[in-house]
Structure 1
Amino acid sequence: MPRYWLYLHQKIRKLVMEALCLQTENLYVVTRSPNKTNIKIVVNKVESQIESSMCWLIDTIKVKKMDIKPMLLYANSIKDVSNLYKFITTEIQDFKPYVQMYHSETTDQIKSLILSDLQKSNHDLNVIATSALDWSGYCYIKTVLFYGPPRSL
């Protein structure tokens, strides 16, 4: 029989367990927070215009210049990826060689180059991507940003 893991706040645990019809003999309840000190999650409601919602990123890149750590910026659609790429490379033209787009329509040659660079510990590539790029295997990426909530989990 499989064990189910459930991370819940103590006050709502019973209510959720009842609503999900979870039987206690098949359930292992974790009461410690799974949060890690090296992971920071920030959620902000932003305007729908890229210019106003991503100005903080442009400001950060301008301040840190080339000291910015490589990052992945995920968007839900190829259109959003394209708009983000255009916005970032237009606002900071010196940053253009360090930014790539990755989505289902990216050529196989470019995809291979991006994937190869992401495996290197000393790369300085920043990628704007759709979910076509799986980020789980790139340990040298220290920042992952999401432009909009994911469509599915």
Structure 2
Amino acid sequence: MEVNECNVQQAVPFFWVKNIDASLNFYIGGLGFELKNKWEPSGRIEWCWLQLGKASIMLQQHLNEGPNAVIFLDNKKGVGISINFTCKDAIKLYHKFQENGVEVSEPMVGNGLWEILVTDPDGYRLFFESETNVPEETKYSDWLNSEASKK
């Protein structure tokens, strides 16, 4: 069987997190993800599947002990890991995330895309990007000022 004949339909990032309650608050309350599935072996969520539009991620509470314990170098989760979400309107998300109290970078154009960055409680970097014809390296505030001066 050739690779292109496989029935692969989606890749879903899986993040080990230090405090799943803080992560759920960030992803659901701050970014607007929906809880689609969960595992509660001890009466509280220890694993979950979250979805925003057609994008999904999984979170699992970091286990410090037992046969399923997870060891991280210097307890640094998220270091060097980023996920890019392609979306219709990154600027709209920028404003929504700000309204929800999420610390979010100022939008900037790179590679023909408006790009914003948020970092989750465990250091995972999440980029939200949407296509634009605005010149490369334009900051959102500069673009707003230039648009206002045209009026």
TM-score, structure 1 as length reference:
0.24
Higher RCO structure, 1 or 2 (CA under 8 Å, sep 6+)? 1
Higher share of residues assigned helix: 1
